Structure formats: C-alpha cells, structure tokens
Structure 1
Amino acid sequence: MAKILAVTNQKGGVGKTTTCVNLAASLVATKRRVLLVDLDPQGNATMGSGVNKQALSASVYDVLTGQKEAVDALVKSESGGFDLLPANGDLTAAEVQLLELPNKEKRLSYALAKTASKYDYIIIDCPPSLNMLTVNALAAANGVIIPMQCEYYALEGLTALLDTIQRISRVLNANLKIEGLLRTMYDPRTSLANEVSSQLVNHFGDKVYRTVIPRNIRLAEAPSFGMPALAYDKASRGAVAYLALAGEMLRRQETPLKQESA
C-alpha cells in the first residue's frame, strides 16, 4: 500500500508546490511509482508538472464531488514521470460543496483507497490555508511533510500547524504523524537562517530532514517550463538537493522494493 504524504504549511510561499513536484520526480528517479495530487485551486503543481490546467477533461474536483473515480481523472506528467490528479479553479467550488456532502472530511481518503495499491508514494500538495481541502488531505495521509523557510515568523506559524495536525490526528486520522520538517530556500550566509535552523533541530531533533533545499534559480525557473528541476537542469543544486531528500526519505522508512523481495 502507498505511503501517503501531505505536504502542507498554512503559510504561503515556503516552497510547498516546488517540494511536491520535485520530490515526486526524484522518487520516480529512484524507480518508485508515484502519484501527485494537486489539492490547491491555483493548480500550480499541475502546471509545474507540464499539464495545462485550462484543458482538463476531469480534475480532483470531480473526484471529491463524486462525479468521477480517481483513476478516470489521472493524467501523466511526461516531464516528471509520475501520475497526476490535477487541479484548476473549479476546486474553489469544491470547498463549499464539500460542506454539504456526507463524510466531507474523508472524500479524498475514500477516493485514494481505490487506487493506492498502484503506487509506492502518493504526495498531496495542500492549499496554504486550513480549509476543508487541507482537512481532506490530512485525513487521507499517514505522514506530513512541512516545508518552511528559516525566517523570523516561521516558528510562530509552525506552532499553529502542529496544533492543527494534533487535532486531526485525535478526531479524524489516528495514523497521522509528522514525517519531517524540510528547510527550504535556505541561505546559510544569513545568521537568522542559521539561528532558526538550530532552533528547529534543537526542538524537533531527527524530525528535521538533514537535507536542506537551497535558494536556487533553476528551481525557480523550472515551473515556467512545466518541468521539475531534475528534467530542466539535473545538475543544478536544487535538483541535486531534492534527489538527496528522496534518498533520505527512503533510508528512513522504506521496505525493499516489491520486485527486489519477489
């Protein structure tokens, strides 16, 4: 069964979508089968994966509202090599519609259960707010990755997010746990970044990934070409960092590949 990871932070602009697209591509490079779920109405993960969000015949909106099965809405990211459950502006309407549907917090969980056996990893890109879409992601996941910049307000926002995850774990999903904290857009030349980084490690210990994602122009450019950094410039520091993150994740938690144990 797939490991389902929600990538979330209630603060925007922390590299959440960049992490989703590039981690998905990096896991594919290690021969894992990956599904990326775009749960943000902005559809940035969809566009960053090389899929036109304006030309979708079906999206995650149709899946959440029960009009389509997940398998009928999947598209392939040719640049990333992973399957994608795409999103566009239609998803904004789902936030309201979900409130009137039965099992509103578990719609994504039920939808993914039917296709999870096809994948080793399912990565969910959450919107930068705590709404019904984020609740669906956390109810479906068994791990949470929290990307964050090492800046002044980062720790304050982190406390609120951890409280949210605890509540979801208590009420909706007892299997939910923090998978790891990921330092993004990291610039080791600033004393503030180093200070916040040290505070994170002191407080969360090995929950903080050793891998740090640097500020990198190639990472910033790649989405405009509809590619993960690995396809855009595999030698860039950003691409190498996400490959290292995938390797660190696999060393932490993975059982042998099915074909190896067969």
Structure 2
Amino acid sequence: MATIIAIANQKGGVGKTTTTVNLAACLAALRQNVLLVDLDPQGNATMGCGVDKHTVTATSYDVLLGEATLTEALRWIEKAQMQLLPANGDLTAAEVNLLKTDNAPNRLRDALAPVAWNFDVILIDCPPSLNMLTVNALTAAQSVIVPVQCEYYALEGLSALLDTIEKVRRSTNPGLRIEGVVRTMFDPRNRLANDVSAQIVEHFGEVVFETLVPRNVRLAEAPSYGLPIIHYDDSSRGAQSYRELARELRKRLRRSVAPAMKEAGA
C-alpha cells in the first residue's frame, strides 16, 4: 500500500514543485515505485518531468471530475522510471466544478484508492493556495511535507497552512500528520539564511529534515530541460541534497511503518 504524501505551502517560490519532482525521482532511483500527482494548475511538475502540459489529453482535472480514470491519465516517465498524473491550466476551473460534485473533498482519495497498492510512494504537488485542490490532496494523504525557504518571511503564512491541516484532520482525515519540514534555497555563506534555518528548527523541532537543499544554479536550470536534477547533473550540490533527502525520508517511512505492522500483528 502506498504512502501518500502531499507537498504543500501556500507561498509561491519556496521550492515546492522542485522538491516534489526531485524527491520523486530520487525515490524512484532508490527502486521505489513512485507516482507523482500534479495538482497545480501551473503544471510545472508536469513540465519538469519532460511532459508538455499543452498536449496532454487527460489530466488530474479529468480524474477529479470523473471524466477519465487514473489509469487512463497516467504517463510513464522513462528517464526517471516513475509514473506521472499530469496537470495543466484546466485545473483552474476545478474549484468551481468540484463544488458541484458529490463528496468533493474526497475525489482524489477515491481516485487513488484502486491503484494505491501498485506504488510504494505517491507524492502530490499542491497548488500554492489553500483551495479545494489542496483540501483534496490533504484528504488523500497520510502526511504532509512543507518546504520552507531560508529567506526573510520564511514562516509568514504557515499558520494558515497549519490551520487548514487541522481543519482537514477534524473533517475528512483524522490521521493526517506533518511528515517533515524541508529547508530550501539555503546559502551557508549568508548570515540571514543561517538565522532563518535556526528559526525553522526552533519552531518545528524534530520534524525538520536534517538535509538542507541549497541554492544551486544547476537545480534551477533542470526544469527547463524537462529533467529532474539527478538526470540533468547528478554531480551537482542540488542532486546530492535531494538524494540525501530521499534517503532520509525513506528511513522515516520505515520507522513509521514498523509500529503499524506490529500493531496489525504482521
């Protein structure tokens, strides 16, 4: 059964999509069966995987509205050896159209259920807003990874995300938890970056991943080539950091699975 993780922060420019794409590719490189769900109308995760969002015929929008099955919409990403549920601008209409459907917050969870056993990890790239798409992601997920940039105002607005997570816990997904906080865009030479990094650790404690994702030119270039960083420049600091993050996440997931298996008598 897949571990489903939403990657969310309503602030733009924090490395959310970069983290989703590269973490997915690095987990796939660790021989995990991975599905990346693009739930952002910008479709940047789709483009970052080398799929043209303008030419896809079935997307996450169609799946959410019941106009296509998940299996029909999936795209195999040969280079990264993982599956993608693509997105494009059609998703901008999802907010209104989802509210017209039955059981609106559960549409993604219901769509993923038939295929969840085919994957080890499902990562959901959320839109940079707290709308019905994000609620769908949080309802479908077991946990949330929050990317936070090591820059001024890093923690601004996070209270709104945490409030949304708490509302989802109370309404549709009581088991939802914070998987971890990822510090992104870190420059060790910058005093402010170091100060903000320390603030993040002080605020969130042990849920903060040890891995720091640096500011890195090669990491910024990779999406324009439609490649995750490990397939664009595996020797770069960006590639090394996301490989480390994937290993760290896998260790966390193994620790969380073991007690659950014991409790189930496995």
| TM-score greater than 0.5 by the shorter chain | yes
The reply to whether residue 152 of structure 1 matches residue 158 of structure 2 is no
Distance across 1 between alignment mates of 2:212 and 2:197: 10
Name the residue aligned to 1:4: 4
Name the residue aligned to 2:49: 49
Per-residue deviation, residues 44-75 of structure 1 (Å, max 9, x unmatched): 00000011111112111110000111111000
Shift of 1:79: 2.6
Shift of 1:41: 0.6
Q: How does 1:23-34 map to 2 (within 5 A)?
A: 23-34=23-34
What amino acid is the match of 2:49?
S
Distance across 2 between alignment mates of 1:172 and 1:75: 29
The reply to whether residue 222 of structure 1 matches residue 222 of structure 2 is yes
Look up the SS of the partner of 1:17 in the other structure: helix
The reply to whether residue 184 of structure 1 matches residue 178 of structure 2 is no
Distance across 2 between alignment mates of 1:253 and 1:48: 25
What amino acid is the match of 2:3?
K
Distance across 2 between alignment mates of 1:7 and 1:17: 8
Distance across 2 between alignment mates of 1:135 and 1:76: 26
What amino acid is the match of 2:66?
G
Distance across 2 between alignment mates of 1:143 and 1:47: 25
What amino acid is the match of 1:252?
R
Name the residue aligned to 2:36: 36
Displaced runs of 4+ in structure 1, greater than 2 A?
Answer: none
CA contact (8 A) 1:145 1:181 kept: yes
Further displaced range: 78-87 or 104-113: 78-87
Distance across 1 between alignment mates of 2:157 and 2:181: 13
Name the residue aligned to 2:252: 252
Look up the SS of the partner of 1:156 in the other structure: coil
Q: How does 1:1-262 map to 2 (within 5 A)?
A: 1-254=1-254
Look up the SS of the partner of 2:170 in the other structure: helix
Distance across 2 between alignment mates of 1:199 and 1:154: 9
CA contact (8 A) 1:222 1:232 kept: yes
Further displaced range: 161-170 or 1-10: 161-170
- Between the aligned residues of both structures, percent identity stands at 61
Shift of 1:76: 1.0
Further displaced range: 86-95 or 155-164: 155-164
How many residues were matched structurally? Answer: 256
Distance across 1 between alignment mates of 2:203 and 2:78: 40
Look up the SS of the partner of 2:14 in the other structure: coil
What amino acid is the match of 2:218?
R
What amino acid is the match of 1:176?
L
What amino acid is the match of 2:48?
G
Shift of 1:78: 2.1
CA contact (8 A) 1:6 1:126 kept: yes
What amino acid is the match of 1:229?
I
Distance across 2 between alignment mates of 1:98 and 1:199: 38
Aligned residues: CA RMSD? 1.1
What amino acid is the match of 2:68?
K
Distance across 1 between alignment mates of 2:29 and 2:62: 30
Distance across 2 between alignment mates of 1:90 and 1:164: 24
